[in-house]
Amino acid sequence: MNPNAALDLEPNETDDHFLLNPVLTLPPAFGSAYVGETFSCTLCANNELPADSERQVTSVRVGAEMQAPSGTTTLEVSPADQEAAKVSPGESLQKIVRFELREEGAHTLAVNLSYSETTVSKDRSASSGRIRTFRKLYQFVARPCLGVRTKVSNLQPGDSDDTQSQATRYALEAQLESFADGTITLETATFNPKAAFKSTSLNWDAKNLDMHHSDKPCMAPRDVLQIAFLVEQRKDGPAKEVTKDDRTLLGNLDIQWMTVMGDRGFLSTGWLTTKKR
């Protein structure tokens, strides 16, 4: 083999936002867990017995649950085998778990493992087995990736000679601040209006262009980005929904992003309203 094949080659192009360098060394840590992203983890149960061991490990089962601030959720493991597995010496049983992070605070991944251990004599006769179980805990903190501040301003009604048919209009502004440890790319920012309104994006996707990944805004840690939408009342639409304190319900804001490691996140605000009259 040519020893020069092991040497790294300088790439023609580099991406300043990419977390890994051209030598492809992994980062010292994989960052924090963020609300809105999917926590994914591979669980490995390894049989570390020597090949000539008289003990056999069978009926291996792996389970997991996530302890979040609001309660505990049993996680689905995949692949979901119906029967318990036999793990020979030097082999491993792998399972994948996923969990949607929906709240801030401390989380604990609790992994439960059970298996049967049987001692086999030289004449290949098996003695009665023992069932063993143990539990391991892995703790992490889920933090917000994006901070959102919104502002609703009244605009002059649309042009019309009939004052009764003039549509009510609002300017919805949102300030996004990145709390991530690395650069993130905003995939979409969508305003979902109530049935009485329609909205128009005033952002990078306003012209309905065929957006490429490199055309979408990138946000470094602590960067702030302003986005805006024009919200107009439909002329033939249903009546406006009003809260008890006389605020008009406009809709809610959905934001999707992607990290430099390819993890996708999603954030949805509560119902946005106008100012109190």
pTM of the model: 0.74
Q: Which CATH superfamily is domain 32-144 in?
A: Immunoglobulins (2.60.40.10)
Report whether CATH 2.60.40.1230 matches the domain 146-158+167-273: yes
pLDDT above 90 (res 16): no
pLDDT at position 260 is: 86
**Reported confidence tier of residue 6, pLDDT bands at 50, 70, 90:** very low
Give residue limits of the domains in the chain.
Answer: 32-144, 146-158+167-273
Mean pLDDT, range 189-215, rounded to an integer: 81
d(CA 155, CA 167) in angstroms, rounded, equals 10
Lowest-pLDDT choice from 11-15, 138-142, 172-176, 267-271: 11-15
Cα 267 from Cα 177, distance rounded (Å): 13
CA distance 239 to 275: 18
Q: 27 falls in which pLDDT band (50, 70, 90)?
A: very low
pLDDT score at 211: 54
| Mean pLDDT, the chain, integer | 84
Name every residue whose Cβ is closer than 8 Å to that of residue 162 and which is 6 or more positions away in sequence. none
Among 2-11, 84-93, 193-202, top mean pLDDT goes to 193-202
Rounded to whole angstroms, the Cα distance separating 207 from 211 reads 10
**Per-residue pLDDT at 107:** 93
- 3-state secondary structure at position 215: helix
CATH topology match: 32-144 vs 146-158+167-273: yes
CB under 8 Å to 126, separation ≥6 — which residues? Answer: 56, 118, 119, 120
Encode pLDDT of 30-83 as tens digits.
Answer: 457 899 999 998 999 888 888 888 888 888 999 999 999 999 999 999 988 767
Over residues 125-184, the pLDDT tens digits come to: 656 678 889 899 999 999 999 999 999 999 988 655 555 556 799 999 999 999 998 999
For the segment 20-26, the average pLDDT, to the nearest whole number, is 47
Evaluate whether 21 touches 15 at the Cβ level (below 8 Å). Answer: no
Question: What's the pLDDT score for residue 127?
Answer: 64
**Which carries the bigger pLDDT value, residue 146 or residue 9?**
146
